[in-house]
Amino acid sequence: MHRNRMTDQTADSDDREITKGALSGIRIVDLSRVLAGPWCTQCFADMGAEVLKVEPPGVGDETRTWSPPSMGGHAAYFTCVNRGKSSIVLDLKAASDRDRLLQAIAVADVVVENFRAGSLDRLGLGSEVMMAANQRLILCSISGYGRSGPEAARAGYDFVIQAESGLMSATGEPEGQPLKVGVAVSDLFAGLYASQAILAALIARDRTGKGTHLDVSMFDCQVAAMANVAANALATDMPSQRHGNGHPNVVPYRVFEAKDQPFVLAVGNDGQFGRLARDVIGQPQLADDPRFATNEARSCNRDLLNASLADLFRQRTAETWLTALREVNIPGGRINDVTDALATKQAEERQLVQSFSTEGGQVRAVRYPVCAEGLCTKVTPPPKLGEGGEALLRNWLARQPRLRKP
């Protein structure tokens, strides 16, 4: 059993040994809001970093108001990206609060911000000011299009990035409209790429003694995450095509209708296709048919093959087919909704859901998804507006900085 797993229990009832987390002692000033930045900084909080979430007076991070639904007095949206943090309220238009922010930056390891280009400069908190306050600082700026180029001044919105990056052009049925992904993946990719880059910058700082400014563009990250679709375009100079639930390079790889409900089949290589033909559908001649014997041939004849398979799969139930696929190690699965996925025995055994008891009631969240000894800490619930931040800042200042000359 993984000792660092987040468990589905109240945060004050666990008497097991609690690790400090791999990033214990790392100080993060979180000037970000909504999703990409908070997703990045929550990863650090899960791994034990001290995250000071800076919020404006009033409602704070706007996702605090993005309800229903709510849990434990918080909008559910807010709970998914802000656990384990401390909140401090600062009005960055006020000189005194700007000074307090610079005090925090001077003793921090990392600042993550997602202001529009020029906004922090107008407040007297631009990158040069921050880096002057702390030469060892890792400053990570997340924006829609980066800090250079003709689109640098534009705000970044996930839906727009999905459209402009080519993701929507590759998503949806061939004869239908382009579709966005049902989760804000452009935000999430940016947050994950940012966390990876910050970790690399912290390692580099240990060698050089110097900080750096990371320029993270949602557009860049989403284009990079197009992976094989982008590689196909570079190889052919042809626009991507939509294949619905199919795959542009691998066949058969799609949703099929069984007698009772749809299921997913993901044949990844010629050996799997041979087992599908011989052992699952009882059509061994398909594996030897030159039109289907190789993935390249199957891709060229995808419509013919998929139509033949569709007729066969309608004859039996989804569970019958999935059992047969599992017996010969061919990937396939039922199509769950999220509540189904969270209730699976696999999710239960992996203790994928953690639960917090708060004054406002129970808060449940999906834990950091990597298990390793000593990686994660036992984190706290998302903070109320202004909760814990003043105490954390006082602690930082009392402990005094890691300011070492480069």
pLDDT value, residue 401: 55
Tell me the pTM. 0.89
Q: How many residues does the chain have?
A: 406
Domains of the chain by range and CATH? 27-227+354-399 (3.40.50.10540), 262-334 (3.30.1540.10)
pLDDT in tens, 187-237: 999 999 999 999 999 999 999 999 999 999 999 999 999 999 999 999 999
User: Annotated catalytic, 15?
Assistant: no
Are 130 and 124 in contact by the 8 Å Cβ rule? The answer is: no
How many whole angstroms separate alpha carbon 383 and alpha carbon 82? 7
How many whole angstroms separate alpha carbon 141 and alpha carbon 129? 14
Catalytic residue among 8, 187, 206, 270: 187
Are 186 and 161 in contact by the 8 Å Cβ rule? The answer is: yes
pLDDT value, residue 1: 35
How many whole angstroms separate alpha carbon 102 and alpha carbon 96? 10
Token pair belonging to 299? 């891709």
CA torsion through residues 291, 294, 300, 302, sign: positive
392, amino acid identity: L
**Residue spans of the chain under pLDDT 70:** 1-18, 400-406
pLDDT value, residue 14: 42
CA torsion through residues 237, 238, 242, 247, sign: negative
pLDDT value, residue 17: 44
How many whole angstroms separate alpha carbon 155 and alpha carbon 168? 19
Give me the DSSP letters along 174-186: TTS-----SS-HH
